[in-house]
Amino acid sequence: MPTKLAVQFRSSRNTSCAFERLKTCKKCGAYSVLFDDRCKECGATGKFIPVARYIASLNRVLPMAEAFGAVALVALAVVLANDWMQIAAAGIGGAAFLALLFLLRKRYKPYADLYRFHEVLVDHTPAILKGLRADLQEADGDMSANHPKEAYEKLREIGHLLNNESIKQRKIACLRRFYIRKDMELELDPLVPKKFDPEFVLYMRDAVKVNRQLVRHSALDYVVAFRPQIEAMEGGREFLVSMAGSALRMKKYVQMYPRFIIDYLDELPKERFHRLCKLLADTPVQQRNELYAKCKETAQTRYASDPDFQGMF
């Protein structure tokens, strides 16, 4: 295993939608999600704009074009009128039509903008995929050049839109090169593979050790599914105990994984077991299960004289 590196990741952008991370080149229409300002397709510099800004410009121009077309139709009706009565009717009808068009556009503008956003993304899917593949090649180049930090930061951005098993493996390979610290912006859910991967387990062990908040149901599903393989690893059982303790972070996880928690209940640290007791103490009679009974029994035997557990059940 190569020497591990102490790194500080570039801050990841916060967006309400993953596609807002895309940017497009005004010169050639190529797409990218990376940080550099030079287009890999045409070589232009300073021509990238966020895709959200590009679509916002369409949302300004297209309604103006529609309004111009509506005005042209009304003007045409007035020009083709044969007498003053028809001119008045065309003018009044046209004014009503334009007013209705304005009111409808104002009311449904958010939906129209969202539809156009979706329409552009669908129409430009081949170009977007081409851009993401070019970004991926750049990340692969960093990995080949032994620049795992730069590679991971690029893979992290790509992974918001394209996160197949191959990209997960690349990210895990990079993360295994770093010292994992509490102050790092870590990810876990997006990395969960479909098959057993000891490298992912080793990364998950390090990540959970410094940040228990990373554990969600996908990670718990993974350790439950591959428990025999994980337990066979060096330090595997200790890690499974830690994951059982992490499942106590939320009551819904306790309800989802009772059997898993029972199997490691006797090895939980006192602090974790005490939290479990607090979560289960007020369980209604009709909802009490094997985990409740086992927890109560352990509290009354192992911690019978401990004041922290007095009167809990």
Can you give the pLDDT at residue 280? 87
Which of 2-11, 107-116, 193-202, 210-219 has the least mean pLDDT?
107-116
DSSP-assigned letters across all residues of 196-243: --HHHHHHHHHHHHH-GGG--HHHHHHHHHTHHHHHTSTTHHHHHHHH
Element of type H or E holding 32: strand 31-32
Residue 32's DSSP bridge partners are 23
2: number of Cβ within 10 Å: 8
Residue 290's DSSP bridge partners are none
Residue 234: pLDDT over 60? yes
Q: Give the integer Cα–Cα distance in Å for 300 and 291.
A: 14
Q: Could you tell me which residues come within 8 angstroms of residue 80 by beta carbon, excluding any fewer than 6 positions away?
A: none
Residue 272: pLDDT over 80? yes
Could you tell me which of 130, 152, 134 has the C-alpha nearest to residue 143? 152
Q: What is the pTM of this model?
A: 0.81
Residue 107: pLDDT over 70? yes
Residue 160: pLDDT over 90? yes
Which of 32-36, 49-53, 148-152, 265-269 has the least mean pLDDT?
49-53
Contact between 199 and 172 under an 8 Å Cβ cutoff? The reply is yes
Contact between 168 and 218 under an 8 Å Cβ cutoff? The reply is no
Identify the top-confidence range among 71-85, 102-116, 152-166, 288-302: 152-166
Q: If you average pLDDT over residues 164-168, what whole number do you get?
A: 96
Which of 80-84, 213-217, 235-239, 273-277 has the least mean pLDDT?
80-84
Q: Give the integer Cα–Cα distance in Å for 92 and 78.
A: 10
Can you give the pLDDT at residue 140? 96
Q: Cα 140 from chain centroid?
A: 22
Could you tell me which of 130, 158, 132, 154 has the C-alpha nearest to residue 143? 154
Residue 87: pLDDT over 80? no
Q: What is the pLDDT of residues 109-118, one digit of tens each?
A: 676 677 777 8
**How high does pLDDT run on average in the chain?**
87
Burial (CB count within 10 angstroms: exposed 0-12, middle 13-18, buried 19+), residue 261: buried
